[in-house]
Structure formats: structure tokens, C-alpha cells
Chains A and B, each alone.
Chain A
Amino acid sequence: MLSKYNIFIVMLLLFAGLQAQEKQNTFKEAFKASLVITSDFSYEFKKSDLQKSEIILKPEFIYRLNRNSKFVLKGQLYSDLNDNLETGVPKETTVSGMNKRLFIGDRTNLELREFYFYTKIKNKLRLTIGKQQIVWGETDGLKLLDVVNPQNFREFILDDFEDSRIPLWSLKAEFDIKDIGVQFVWTPDNTYHITQDFEAPFFTKSLFKSPPKSVSTVLNKPLKPKRFIADSDVGIKLSTFTKGWDLSLNYFYFYDDLPVFYNELKVTDTNNPIVTISPKFKRQHLLGGTFNKVIGSSTLRGEIAYIFNQNFTSTSPEAVLGIETSNQFKSAIGIDYIKGENIISAQLFSDIIIDNISPYNRDKFETNTSLKISRDMMNDNLNAEVLWVHNTNHGDGYIKPQVSYWMNTKTQLFLGSSIFYGNESKLFGQFKDRSRISLGMRWGI
């Protein structure tokens, strides 16, 4: 597996060698190091116990070859002191060989978060080669176009996306054709979402159709794409800024980061029914776009995504292996109103299944809303904000209030809470026993 990624190392060295011909910096000028340490202790109301005791060290090194080129390395030492969110050493069956974390015991792991070479060639072409995060889209909280990198659902969607997004070995090339910015993305890294085991606090049971208790279940290992070139993801983003409008058009040909859970009911020789679940990753085409425009004191922003042949777990007895396929249209429109130190941000998300199918545990037309109110105080020393995400179809959602305070230049304290509500078979409601209060600190040098 390692050899497949040698192409990245060769490309890194090749471009670095070419750039080395330009004017060099002294080592002191060229090398920058920093370290950010974060801690987060969350207390779960239902269990009356710590849900997580997280300490993360994030060292970052930048080596600037010249004014056009740099190496960036971001590492991470992660420790959950009570080993609760990802119990033991996870198998990481959906993660490629070069992207796996190095576990030191059950509680601690080391991860190469990002390692890339960035260069500008003749001020016309900008290349980023290596392990990186590529983020598309305009929305907050819920994702439409932000699908280039998969996610670790260790904390469902409570974790900062910066931490939960899994960086991939990728190539990003950017150049301009007149007033249109072109971004080409190639991702041969066969890493997909990390979902949690049945016993984990944030196991997303709402996605799976549970068989009756009398029926035993066999869960097969996910069938994961392995071919370096043929199974790679490719995407293109065209963007422009015209007459006050920021616009983008996005296309992505990719494997859905969540496998399709094909299920089959069989009766054994001893007349015992058994359900076999065979997860398999499937290819998709996504076409989408974004826009934003300032109108007075507000910014209007939006995002659409049309996915061809999305697979859904079905309740129809006619569904083949329990799965039906439909095109899917997702849209989001949001408005950010800024007045002084106050920000009010509202978003409306729609998710429509185009074809006439019978999806499991969701409606064909689903609507989510979000509202975020934020206020900076004391010259940005103190910030108070609350985020409310609500599904209007099922009446479930979560509320996340948080206060943060800068103690000094280097240290910031956080106090927050995450409260889920609603039907426990639904996406947000399933975690209502996971509601918690959190205290954290971030320190950087």
C-alpha cells in the first residue's frame, strides 16, 4: 500500500527540487514551528460520567523554500483519557494504509494530519501535493458540497469539522482562465468515513434497519475500492467573482464515503433466519454550485448539490438486497446578518429524493433549519454563541450554546453544552442520551 503513495513523495521531491533553483531563504527565515494544545472534558448528563477527556497536541512545521514554495507538516497526538469515544484500538477498515493512525495503547494515537508541498509556478499554476483537507461549500453545521474529505463520526457532528474531517493524499491544482478560477482535485486515497461500532456512544443506529431480535445478523467487512488510479476521486471547481456575486460550479466523481448496506435474509439448513449485511462503497456523480452576495448589512449565501444514483436503504419488499436508488437534490440557503459585535446566521436546508422509492427512516422531502446567534464582547475577549439545528419533518435536533474567553494572548477557555432532543430513532434524537456539558482550553505557542 505504501508504494502506491510513493508517487506523492516523488512529486513532492521533484517539485521541491525545481523550486530549489530559485532564491533560497536562510534556515531561520525558512523554518517556522508552532504548537497548539487543546483539552476538552465533557460530562454526560444521562450517564453521570465523563463522556470524553480529550487532550490534543497539534504541532505544525512550515519550511519555506522561497517566496513561492513551502512544505507544511501538521501532526497530532490525540488522547482520550477514559477511552470512551473510540474504545480500544479501532480496526479502521475504511481507512487506506497510508492514512491509518498509530495507536499507542487504547487511549492515545499519533496521526499525520497534513503533509503537503505548496508551490506557485510562474504565478500561473498553484499546486498543493500531499495529505491535505480540501473544503468546498458555503454552509455551516451540515454538509452539502463539503464531501471531498471523509469524516470521523467519533462525536457525530459535534466535533469541529477541522478535527473530524479526515485529510487525504491528494493533488490540488489551481489556475485561472480569464476571470474564472479553476480548481482541479485528484484524490487517489481510498479512505472513507470512520463510523463507530455498535457499543460506541455515537454509533449512528438511525442509518441501519435493525432486524427483529429473533433474527441473527452477520455483518461482513466493507468491500472497499483498492485501485490507486481507477478508484480515485476527481473533481473540478470553477469559481468567479462578478458584479458582487461570488459564484462556483462544482463537479465531483467519487465514492460515497458511506457504504451501501446490502442486506439479505436467508434461512439456514436448521431453519434459522439470518440477515447478512454486506457493506459496499459505490461510485457517484455530484454536480453542484454555490453563491453569495452582500446585501446591505447581510450576506446571502447558498449551495446546491445534485447527486446521481444515490443509494438508500429501503423499506420496500421489492427492493433488491434492501436497497433502492434515486437521484437526490440538496439545497441550502442562508443569511448572515452582522450588526456591531452581533451575528445572526440562519440557514434552511432541503433534501429531496427525486424518484419514487421508499427510503428507510426518512421522508422523501426533508427540511432542516439552523440558527446561530453570536456576540463578541470586551473587544473580542469574550464570545457567547448558540447554535440550534432542527429537523422540521421529525421534530428532532440539537442546541449547542458556548462561551469562550481569551485569558491572555495564548490561552482561550471554553464552556459549552450540546443538548439533543426528539425521537430517538431519528438522526439527532438518537443521541438525546448523549447530551453533555463541556469545559475546554486552547493554548498555542
Chain B
Amino acid sequence: MKTKLILGLLTIALLFPTTSRGQSLPSGQSIADKTYARNEGISMSRKLTMELKDKRGKVRIRETTSLRKYIGDEKRLAIFYITPKSIMGTAFLTYDYPDASIDDDQWLYMPALRKTRRISAANRGDYFLGTDLTYEDIKLETRISRDDYNYETIDKETIDGQETYVLEGIPKNDKIAKELGYSKVKLWVDANMWMLRKAESWDVAGNHLKTTVISDFKKVQDIWTYHKIEVKNHKTNHETIFRISDVDYKTVLNDDVFTKETLVNGL
């Protein structure tokens, strides 16, 4: 009888290995929730430098000042271009609402026209101003979406000496997959900081699309903060390196910083 029970348990374990392994790993959804629960501070200012490198090795650099503030659960983000000098003053503003069913509101100020253009946030899979990250990627930063994917936690791995949970995410339906531009993602989430450390993504046709590596984590004013994101697009062989510096969570940002008037007047 005892032998039969052991054999039975072994059979179940062999037939449903992920279920068994999944029992010792937190669910993907709970990990996603934890990435949102992390302390990001109320306000933040930082310098964000984007290094765009094409397949021939030509590098273009764009320097920005990025400001972010939570007003209640609503996240507001403003990015002001400092270089190249010929497009200095270009500025981008987003209102990211806590209700996922409500599209973000986005504006882009173009100094050459001196006009602020409203941008649809429905195209969240579009690439952000020539970089290899999409508008959705930029919005999430080191969080992982709570609403778009069905996750499975498949493993634990170590990156830079830190333990991470490895998740596979499949968009919940074809519409979401098309919107995001991904048919599958594989994510490595730090098991202590609850921040994304690495991501692989596949396009809607199933081809390997991008590798994203987030690194140089340091505590700034007691908040874990990343300082570098490297993104490689395997289809175009284009790369973007985001470098973050001068991070300040204690900066006082009034609500009127996140308005169309400030986009026009500049910082």
C-alpha cells in the first residue's frame, strides 16, 4: 500500500511537473503585484540619457530631464529634451491612470511648431521616440504588467549574484498581443527588490524580438533605483542604452509642473 502511494505521487509529479514546482514558487500574478507595491517615492527627478546605436555602430545621444510624481494613485511623468540642441525643448507628458481600462493621456510639445500635440495612448506598442522600448515599456519601468499577461513562474535564477524569479507571460488575448507587439515575454524579477532585472520578448509572429537588461541598482535616499537599461532589438540590430543619473526622490514637484503650460514654458 505504501509503495503504491509513493508510486502514485511520483506519477503525479512526473505528469504535472510545473504544478509541483509551481507550488514552491510564488505565482506570476503575485510577483506582478509586488512590483507595483514597491516604494518608488512620491516624486522623482533624474537625468535620463538615451544612447541610440544602429547596426553600423553609429551612435546618437539624447539627454533629457525626467520628472515623475504620484498624485494619489495617478502617475504623472514629464520628459524634457536637453540635447540634441536643435530639438531642445521637445517635451513629453503622460497622465497614467490607476484604472487600467482608461487609456493614458499623452501630450508632446514640439518647439519647432510651438504647439503641443495630443498623442493617442492606444498605440502602447509603438516605439518611444526612436528608442527600442515601447511607450508601455517606458511606463512600466521595472514593474511588470498586472493586467496584460497570464503568467507562469517557471524557475529561479541568479543574476549579478541576486536571486530572481523567472516568469513566462502570454498576452491574455490576441488584441492585447497586437497592442503590445509581443506574443510572449520571459521576465526575471528580483526576489528581494521586486524589480525587473531582465526581459526577453517575442514579436506577434513568434520571432525573438528584444533582450532588455536592467542593472546598476543602488539605493538612493533609501529607495532601490536602477541606473542603466540596455535594450537590444534582434530584428533590427539596433540598441538603446538608457543611463540614469542625478536621481532625487526628495525634490519638490508642484502639480503645475505636469501641465501643458510647463511643456511650453520649459523647466
Contacts and interface: CB of A to CB of B under 8 A. Distances in A.
B114 A444 contact: no
B88 interface: yes
A443 B259 CA distance: 30
B105 A294 contact: yes
Contacts of A183: 261
A279 to B, nearest CB: 29
A443 B83 CA distance: 12
B113 interface: yes
Contacts of A246: 118, 260
Contact of B117 (A34, A299, A408): A299
Contacts of A338: 119-120, 123, 126
A158 to B, nearest CB: 14
Contact of A379 (B85, B105, B111, B131): B131
A112 interface: no
A174 B260 CA distance: 12
A246 B261 CA distance: 13
Contact of B61 (A292, A379, A409): A409
Contacts of A176: 256
Contact of B54 (A296, A381, A442, A445): A381
Chain A CB count within 10 A is highest, among B60, B119, B127, B260, for B60
A105 interface: no
Interface string A262-293: 00000000000000000000000000000011
Contacts of A340: 123, 126-127
A34 B130 CA distance: 23
Given A126-B261, A379-B131, A296 B52 contact: no
Contact of A408 (B58, B85, B105, B238): B58
Interface in B63-122: 83-86, 88, 103, 105, 111-115, 117-122
Contact of B261 (A162, A174, A339, A378): A174
A339 B181 CA distance: 12
Interface in B238-260: 238, 240, 254, 256, 259-260
Contact of B130 (A118, A292, A336, A379): A379
A298 B120 contact: yes
B129 A380 contact: yes
B44 to A, nearest CB: 16
Interface string A199-242: 00000000000000000000000000000000000000001010
Contacts of A379: 52, 54, 127, 130-132, 236, 238, 240
Interface in B200-252: 236, 238, 240
Interface residues of A, number: 52
A128 B261 CA distance: 12
B45 to A, nearest CB: 11
Given A340-B123, A379-B127, A160 B112 contact: yes
B192 interface: no
Interface stretch (A5-13, A132-140, A426-434): A132-140
Contact of B85 (A35, A138, A376, A381): A35
A294 B103 contact: yes
Contact of A294 (B61, B88, B121, B256): B121
Given A34-B88, A444-B86, A294 B129 contact: no
Contacts of B130: 376, 379-381
Given A126-B265, A162-B114, A296 B120 contact: yes
B114 A133 contact: yes
Contacts of B84: 409-410, 412, 444
Nearest to B61: A409
Given A338-B126, A379-B127, A412-B86, 17 more contacts: A34-B88, A140-B115, A162-B111, A246-B118, A294-B119, A296-B122, A299-B120, A336-B117, A340-B126, A341-B126, A379-B130, A379-B131, A381-B60, A408-B58, A408-B59, A409-B59, A444-B83
Interface of A: 34-36, 60, 118, 123, 126, 128, 133, 135, 137-138, 140, 160-162, 165, 174, 176, 181, 183, 239, 241, 244, 246, 292-294, 296-299, 301, 336, 338-341, 376, 378-381, 406, 408-410, 412, 442-445
Interface of B: 52, 54, 58-62, 83-86, 88, 103, 105, 111-115, 117-123, 126-127, 129-132, 236, 238, 240, 254, 256, 259-261, 265
24 contacts: A60-B88, A126-B265, A128-B265, A135-B115, A138-B115, A140-B115, A160-B112, A161-B113, A162-B113, A239-B260, A246-B260, A292-B118, A294-B118, A294-B122, A299-B118, A299-B120, A338-B123, A340-B123, A379-B52, A379-B127, A379-B132, A381-B54, A444-B85, A444-B86
